[in-house]
Chain A
């Protein structure tokens, strides 16, 4: 009896807290489906009487170019940082070489540094390379600043590969290259997926690099949404629809690959510690 009571209390508390946490998102959803008129007349959390997709169509027309930019930036930045980070993590986890300690320390410290402290040199470099307002420039920035986090995460995962396998590979005469593709990569696929998803969501969600390095031709959707908020200040349905459109890819990942994302958050946390 007492066990049942406490279960009911826990469940009631959880339902209340979860409802509170979802309130802003629920309000965004209902508002995104309303007309301007209905927003004026009804409570923001009431379900619309006549749901309309007009907000979404408007927001999509406003954001479509930027959404495509975001897709390209996210794909490029994710592949770049994960690919290069994997090489560092592999070298650090399974081979000892001179300066390995220093390399690891510099990579780990790179995770903690605030972007503002490198923003002006980055901007200047990208301008000198004539990459300002190009997808390539933003991809380069995400690649360079994504490497430290990816490298340290890969090192953590690759360290679980038994050292005996490395010794075996050396005696078999297969070099690091072969050993990676034959043994390490296939046995750590989950780690790769985890880090890919972690980077995908971080780059998709990011604002600052797009704001500083992007222009009308290359701005990611985060920058475009922020501009939309500035120009259509009173059109809450379009703003909320735009926000939810921008969230859609992350939400899909969250629903179908949430396990990996949670693993990524935990690995990121372990990395930080």
Chain B
């Protein structure tokens, strides 16, 4: 066999084959997504009905016991409550983001710089912002308490993320800081997409600025608001990185979310089956909230 000719022939063969069936190459990406995403979901669901502990190779069918244990667990109920509590970030970001978008829409020179500076926190890693906010919130020497002291608001000093009562609100405040610039960006794009003619016509008729916002601009921002809601809601549901770095889920269990609890059960306590049941509750919650939305979008796209 002439070995020097082999690779050339084979290459020609593959190329010829691919040019006849070009989208066979889709098999690779779709295979990866099919296995890792959808195969993973099925596998995870199966695991949640067993008693698998990560280190033991064997496990048996366990029925719904993981789920019934879950709903009797006070830690789980705290985690579920906190996951839902994080949704507070959504209206806060929309209100603040809208305020920022209106300011940025005033067409002053240098607006682009302000927009970029306000958006900067969104570009940062949650690991970085978690570390920085731990310093912000440090009760004795941290930035926030020191600044409050210096400005004469000593009575506003707080324990922030180190107290069970305030930790979730401290987390929400930091997330609003990180996401509201993004909300402003999307809402600003929404405002800019409104035809200038409509606003000019209203101005000619003597409508006030406030009235123009209420009657013309805000009603047309539905799509932009929906975008912000979905993006932040998706984040809130899977919130892990930031909270893990800032509090690790503490103090105690006070800032456990479903993601934090799932991670600890799976990779610290190696209770794989129990953890996959938590993950499935999270998946269910995501589907309930996102599916109607996906359905509407798909129908609208089909029309």
Contacts and interface: CB of A to CB of B under 8 A. Distances in A.
A11 interface: yes
B223 interface: yes
Nearest to B237: A114
Contact of A121 (B40, B223, B228, B298): B40
Contacts of B227: 269-270, 272-273
A95 B37 CA distance: 25
B126 A205 contact: yes
Given A21-B177, A208-B240, A243 B290 contact: no
A229 B134 contact: yes
Interface string A173-190: 001110000000000000
A28 B142 CA distance: 11
A143 B114 CA distance: 34
Contact of A261 (B117, B123, B125): B123
Interface stretch (B161-169, B212-220, B255-263): B255-263
B127 A222 contact: yes
A158 to B, nearest CB: 14
Given A21-B117, A229-B134, A250-B125, A119 B279 contact: yes
B272 interface: yes
B236 to A, nearest CB: 11
Contacts of A170: none
A17 B147 CA distance: 16
Contacts of B26: 87-88, 91, 103
B175 interface: no
Interface in A40-63: 40, 43-45
Contacts of B126: 205, 207
Given A84-B28, A261-B123, A17 B298 contact: no
B180 to A, nearest CB: 8
Contacts of B47: 120-121
Contact of A24 (B141, B143, B286): B143
B90 to A, nearest CB: 14
Interface residues of B, number: 94
Interface stretch (B66-74, B182-190, B197-205): B182-190
A147 interface: yes
B41 A118 contact: yes
Contacts of A105: 298
A136 interface: no
Interface stretch (B4-12, B15-23, B152-160): B15-23
Contacts of B40: 117-118, 121-122
B39 A121 contact: yes
B297 interface: yes
A175 to B, nearest CB: 5
A108 B230 CA distance: 14
Contact of A226 (B39, B43, B117, B127): B127
A13 interface: yes
Contact of B123 (A40, A113, A125, A250): A250
Which residue, B32, B119, B185, B280, has most C-beta atoms of chain A within 10 A? B32
A266 B44 contact: no
Nearest to A228: B131
B133 interface: yes
Interface of A: 6-7, 10-11, 13-14, 17-18, 21-25, 27-28, 31, 39-40, 43-45, 84-85, 87-88, 91, 95, 97, 103, 105-110, 112-125, 141, 143-145, 147-148, 151, 175-177, 201, 204-208, 211-212, 222, 225-226, 229, 236, 239-240, 242-244, 246-247, 250, 254, 258, 261-262, 265-266, 268-270, 272-273
6 contacts: A21-B118, A107-B33, A112-B286, A113-B286, A117-B40, A122-B36
Interface of B: 18-19, 22-23, 25-26, 28-30, 32-41, 43-44, 47, 100, 103-104, 106, 108, 114, 116-136, 138, 141-143, 146-147, 150, 177, 181-182, 185-186, 189, 223, 226-228, 230-231, 234, 237-238, 240-241, 244-245, 258-259, 262-263, 266-267, 272, 275-276, 278-280, 282-283, 286, 290, 294, 297-298
Given A23-B143, A207-B245, 8 more contacts: A24-B129, A44-B141, A112-B290, A120-B266, A177-B19, A208-B240, A226-B244, A265-B182
8 closest Cβ contacts across the A-B interface? A118-B40, A205-B125, A84-B29, A144-B36, A121-B43, A121-B40, A27-B143, A117-B283
